[in-house]
Amino acid sequence: MISAAWRADLFCRVVDNLGDAGVCWRLARQLVQEHGCQVRLVIDDPAALQQFVAVDPADMALLDHGQIVLAPWTVTDPADLVIETFGCDVPAPYAEALAQRAPQPVWYNLEYLSAEDWVLGCHGLPSPHPRLPVSRQFFFPGFVNGTGGLLREAGLLQAVAASQAASAADLCRATLTADRQARMPPEDLQVALFCYAHPVLDQLLAAIEAGPCRVHCRVFQGPAQQQVQAWAAAHPGHRTRFTWLPWLGQAAFDQVLWDSDFNLVRGEDSFVRAQWAAKPFFWDIYPQSDDAHLVKMAAFLRLYRADLPDLEAAQALGALWQAWVRREGAALAVAWAAVCRHLPALQAKASAWQAQLGQQPDLLTQLLTDAVGRGLSGPGLARPPR
């Protein structure tokens, strides 16, 4: 722990409200709970937080007690530590005030997560302001040493292991009605589905329905849930079991991933949380008009599958990801059946991958250690980082 009483400003422009805002909320909460910071979350769409913060009493307490303060985009009094997320750029008046403050705050641009090779060369580089005498630092999350690592709160891996070992009732099940609290039959494969509305989602559901595994599919709230409900209504004799989840806080969301056998996730926040869950998964990566998302996905798959000893399992997982992201509905049935056959090998890989990632220092520890090295100071800096 880096003990601090300095102030931190986090800037967030919402694009995918459960991704961008979700990452920023996790970051803000960890700054408060593990490092004693006073946090101001400057967000252009505070309503985006309502879907997952308002349903979690522990998160709401952080707001009610003023440990995290939501602020408008018009703020002009810089904190000691400034983190702009995903290249959102702080407002011009804020940057001018930042440049005039003495000592100058330590300023970071926390970038998008990528497994592409160029990240290693860009992590930590300075980004001087084009007209002001101040510079920020690029900080890139990543999966390998030499990057900024991944957001991971203290004790997370131990909590995942304990929960999975005990097969205890999760936080999500406490929100469900009594008739849904019983465990599903052991032959059911537990699948968590959190994706965007997608043109081949119906084909995936058909593949699951016809596949070799009986499936209990827990579908998170959002547009995809409506699409799945429409599919279920159109197929009244389906054998696939469905549970329609309400809006969940981040802790309950994580627990659903931990308790599943296979996870479909989206964006960036849930992509990382699926990896900490140590379960097989695939990624509904946010599409980009120039197809940059295909390059990004391929880079991650190369890294993730690099040491998967079962070649057929590696090929099955890759085929599923490719069929989904390229919207090849006809290929999904074959790919899903292959993944089901190779689940033991994919589960072993997911566990080993989580352990490998856990060897890195977490993102916030790395960022604060770097910030102290760059002169971050405050009235509560009790001891140097360790």
pTM of the model: 0.91
Out of 72-76, 121-125, 179-183, pick the least confident: 179-183
pLDDT at residue 213 greater than cutoff 70 = yes
Q: What percent of the chain has pLDDT over 70?
A: 90
Question: What integer pLDDT is reported at residue 17 of this predicted model?
Answer: 60
Q: Which of 9, 20, 111, 170 is catalytic?
A: 20
The structural domains of the chain, with segments of one domain joined by +, span 7-151+360-373, 156-357
Average pLDDT over residues 173-180: 46
- Could you tell me the CATH superfamily of domain 156-357? Glycogen Phosphorylase B; (3.40.50.2000)
Q: How far apart are CA 156 and CA 167, in angstroms?
A: 16
Average pLDDT over residues 281-292: 88
Active site residue 268: yes
Domains 7-151+360-373 and 156-357 share a fold: yes
Displacement of CA 76 from its chain's centroid (Å): 29
pLDDT band (50, 70, 90) for residue 267: confident
255: nearest Cα among 377, 381, 171: 171
CATH number of 7-151+360-373: 1.25.40, 3.30.450, 3.90.700, 3.40.50? 3.40.50
Contact 300, 309 (CB under 8 A): no
Q: How far apart are CA 298 and CA 374, in angstroms?
A: 35
pLDDT at residue 303 greater than cutoff 90 = yes
pLDDT band (50, 70, 90) for residue 19: confident
pLDDT at residue 177 greater than cutoff 70 = no
Cβ contacts of residue 378 below 8 Å, gap of 6+? 4, 5, 6, 7, 80
pLDDT band (50, 70, 90) for residue 291: confident
pLDDT band (50, 70, 90) for residue 15: confident
Question: What integer pLDDT is reported at residue 378 of this predicted model?
Answer: 57
Average pLDDT over residues 294-316: 95
Query: What is the average pLDDT value for the chain, to the nearest integer?
Result: 90
Question: What integer pLDDT is reported at residue 289 of this predicted model?
Answer: 80
Q: How far apart are CA 28 and CA 13, in angstroms?
A: 15
pLDDT at residue 175 greater than cutoff 50 = no
Active site residue 312: no
* Tens-place pLDDT, residues 310-325: 999 999 999 999 999 9
Q: Which residue has the higher pLDDT, 111 or 171?
A: 111
Question: What integer pLDDT is reported at residue 3 of this predicted model?
Answer: 52
Q: Which residue has the higher pLDDT, 16 or 322?
A: 322
Average pLDDT over residues 213-230: 95
pLDDT band (50, 70, 90) for residue 382: very low
Question: What integer pLDDT is reported at residue 386 of this predicted model?
Answer: 32
Average pLDDT over residues 231-246: 96
Average pLDDT over residues 45-58: 93
Contact 265, 241 (CB under 8 A): no
Question: What integer pLDDT is reported at residue 181 of this predicted model?
Answer: 45
* Tens-place pLDDT, residues 80-109: 999 999 989 999 999 999 999 988 999 999
47-52 CB contacts, 8 Å cutoff, 24+ apart: 48/14, 48/17, 48/18, 48/20, 48/21, 49/21, 49/25, 51/17, 51/18, 51/221, 51/247, 52/18, 52/22, 52/25, 52/247, 52/248, 52/249, 52/250, 52/253
pLDDT band (50, 70, 90) for residue 166: confident
363: nearest Cα among 163, 43, 123: 123
Q: Which of 34, 259, 261, 268 is catalytic?
A: 268
Name residue 185's amino acid: P
pLDDT band (50, 70, 90) for residue 191: very high
pLDDT at residue 287 greater than cutoff 90 = no
pLDDT at residue 272 greater than cutoff 50 = yes
Question: What integer pLDDT is reported at residue 82 of this predicted model?
Answer: 97
Q: How far apart are CA 241 and CA 11, in angstroms?
A: 41
